Amino acid sequence: MEYIRGGRQKSFYTDEEKEIVNCPLCGSNEPIRIDEESGLGIVRCKVCRLIYVSPRVKASHENYWGDKSIYYNEARLIFEGKKPHHRDKNYEAEIRFIRRFKREGKWLDVGTNMGFFLRKVVKAGYQAQGVEPSPALSSLAKEQFNLQIYEKMFEDVNLPEKNYDIITMIDVFEHISNPSLVLQKAHGLLKDDGILVIKVPNGNYNLLKMRVRKMFGLRSNLYTWNAYEHVIHYTVDTFSKMAKKHGFKVIKKHVPLPIHPPVWAKYVGHYYQYPSPFVLDWQKRLARNLLYLLGKMELFLTGRSTFSPDLMFVLKKW
């Protein structure tokens, strides 16, 4: 059964809905096409090796400016406290990791969505605010969790300079089409000893998935690159270059716990937010856990990672 989506994402985009862009890291116009998904191009910059989407969806962030009632119904049991979110364990582990660097202070979360991560930050005792441009998602975060949310694009929000101890972008930075503006904004809002924590999918892991798919002659699908919403795909190397270019240094590289997306949607078309029983997808869970362990070992030994699905970085100002 098809998943009932609250957003505006599509399985295919026409030429009128797409735009061609230069490399978001070095600005060059020398892309090498490596894959295609949903009518969108996955390219690698010949100069700096950044993987990005071009042509990409115009205003891809508006995929999340969807139907509030569908979003609410999908998460209703979480809002009512009857079910956990399927990422609660991930969120709690990520907050514990961040606490190693800052045990207290002012925390700004960028791309708050419906507030599931930020509610955990508040529970952990931090002074927390969020930024979320989607009217539907930001209103749910305010109404259901009583969170302080700025309903704007991050680069447009009016906040005091050098005001925050922690800024987070958890599963957000890959959606951002203008990383230069966003990093410049974060640099200004952070205190001199503040930290910026960014978690992204691992571009090298997606390359691995692509190669395996092509090796077995499988057709492209929406789940190798999620190109309709993930417009840039970072590796350890390209992320470090992006951070350095905008006045940050990476002080810690980390492999976070794997995400185990529920599989309810495949059977009932809904309830994507709630954890599903282990028996329904135990093979995929086992594979993700093994890759997570392999990725942690690889990062420890080499400083790079191919096998971990996600990467997490702690940044400080130079």
**Could you read off the pLDDT of 292-311 as tens digits, one per residue?**
999 999 999 999 999 999 99
CA–CA separation, 81 vs 79, rounded Å? 5
Domain ranges of the chain: 15-317
The answer to whether the CB of 275 falls within 8 A of the CB of 84 is yes
pTM of the predicted structure, to 2 decimals: 0.96
| pLDDT tens per residue across span 182-214 | 999 999 999 999 999 999 999 999 999 999 999
The answer to whether the CB of 128 falls within 8 A of the CB of 105 is no
CA–CA separation, 178 vs 160, rounded Å? 21
Write out the H or E segment, with its range, that includes residue 194.
Answer: strand 190-201
| pLDDT tens per residue across span 48-80 | 999 999 999 998 888 888 899 999 999 999 999
Question: Above 70 in pLDDT, residue 125?
Answer: yes
The answer to whether the CB of 247 falls within 8 A of the CB of 187 is yes
List CB contacts of 243: < 8 A, sequence separation 6 or more. 183, 249, 250, 313, 315
Tokens 């989506």 label which residue? 5
CA–CA separation, 290 vs 281, rounded Å? 15
pLDDT category at 217 given cuts 50, 70, 90 is confident
Single-letter code of the amino acid located at 223: Y
List CB contacts of 77: < 8 A, sequence separation 6 or more. 83, 274
Domain 15-317 sits in CATH 3.40.50.150: yes
Give the least confident one: 107-116, 209-218, 234-243, 307-316: 209-218
CA–CA separation, 222 vs 265, rounded Å? 15
Nearest to 114 by CA among 153, 68, 83, 154: 68
How many other C-beta atoms can be found within 10 angstroms of the C-beta atom of residue 7? 18
Tokens 């789940």 label which residue? 223
For the chain, how many residues are written?
318
Write out the H or E segment, with its range, that includes residue 244.
Answer: helix 236-245
